[in-house]
Chain A
Amino acid sequence: MWNIILSQLSALVELRDFACERDERILFSSLNAIFYAGQVVQILGANGSGKTTLLRVLAGVSPDYQGEILWQGQALATCAWEYTNASLYLGHLPGIKKSLTPLENLRWYAAIQGGVGDEVLLQALAEVKLAGYEDTLCYQLSAGQLRRVALARLVFSTAKLWILDEPFTALDKAGAMLLEARLAGHAAAGGLVLVTSHQDINVPDLLQLNLQDFALAHAKLHTAGYQETSAHG
Chain B
Amino acid sequence: MGNSPSLFWSTLRRDLILAFRHKGDMINPLVFFLIAISMIPLGIGAETALLMRIAPGIIWVMALLATLLSLDNLFRSDFDDGSLEQLLIAPYPLFFSVLAKVLVHWLATGLPLTLLAPLLGVMLSLPANAFVALCCSLLIGTAAMSLIGAVGAALTVGLRKGGLLISLIVMPLYVPILIFGANGVQAAAVGQDYTMQLAVLGAGLALALVLAPLAAAGALRVSVNG
Q: Which residues does A use to contact B, with CB under 8 Å?
A: 59-64, 81, 84-85, 87, 89, 91-100, 104, 107-109, 111-115
- Across the interface, do B86 and A112 meet the contact criterion of CB distance under 8 Å? yes
Q: How many residue-residue contacts, CB under 8 A, span A and B?
A: 82
CB distance from A138 to the nearest CB of B (A): 10
Across the interface, name the chain A residue whose C-beta is closest to B78: A97
| Residue picked from A84, A91, A108, A109, most chain B C-beta under 10 Å | A108
- Across the interface, do B10 and A107 meet the contact criterion of CB distance under 8 Å? yes
**B21 close to A (CB within 8 Å):** yes
Chain B, residues 84-99, CB within 8 Å of chain A (1/0): the string is 0110111110000000
CB distance from A80 to the nearest CB of B (A): 9
**B82 close to A (CB within 8 Å):** yes
Chain A residues contacting B3 (CB-CB under 8 Å) are 111-115
- Across the interface, do A85 and B1 meet the contact criterion of CB distance under 8 Å? yes
Chain A residues contacting B81 (CB-CB under 8 Å) are 93-98
CB distance from B91 to the nearest CB of A (A): 4
Chain B, residues 4-19, CB within 8 Å of chain A (1/0): the string is 0011011100100110
- Across the interface, do B91 and A85 meet the contact criterion of CB distance under 8 Å? yes
Across the interface, name the chain A residue whose C-beta is closest to B224: A61
- Across the interface, do A108 and B10 meet the contact criterion of CB distance under 8 Å? yes
CB distance from B21 to the nearest CB of A (A): 4
Report how many residues on chain B are interfacial, defined by Cβ distance under 8 Å.
28
Chain B, residues 40-57, CB within 8 Å of chain A (1/0): the string is 000000000000000000
| Residue picked from A59, A96, A97, A113, most chain B C-beta under 10 Å | A97
CB distance from B36 to the nearest CB of A (A): 28
17 further A-B contacts with Cβ under 8 Å, apart from A89-B85, A100-B14, are A60-B88, A61-B224, A62-B225, A81-B91, A84-B89, A84-B91, A94-B82, A95-B81, A95-B82, A97-B18, A104-B14, A104-B17, A107-B10, A108-B14, A108-B83, A109-B86, A111-B11
Bound CA span A84–B21, Å: 31
18 A-B residue pairs with Cβ-Cβ distance under 8 Å, sorted by A, are: A59-B89, A61-B88, A61-B89, A81-B91, A93-B80, A93-B85, A96-B81, A97-B77, A99-B21, A100-B14, A100-B17, A100-B18, A100-B21, A108-B14, A111-B9, A112-B86, A112-B91, A112-B92
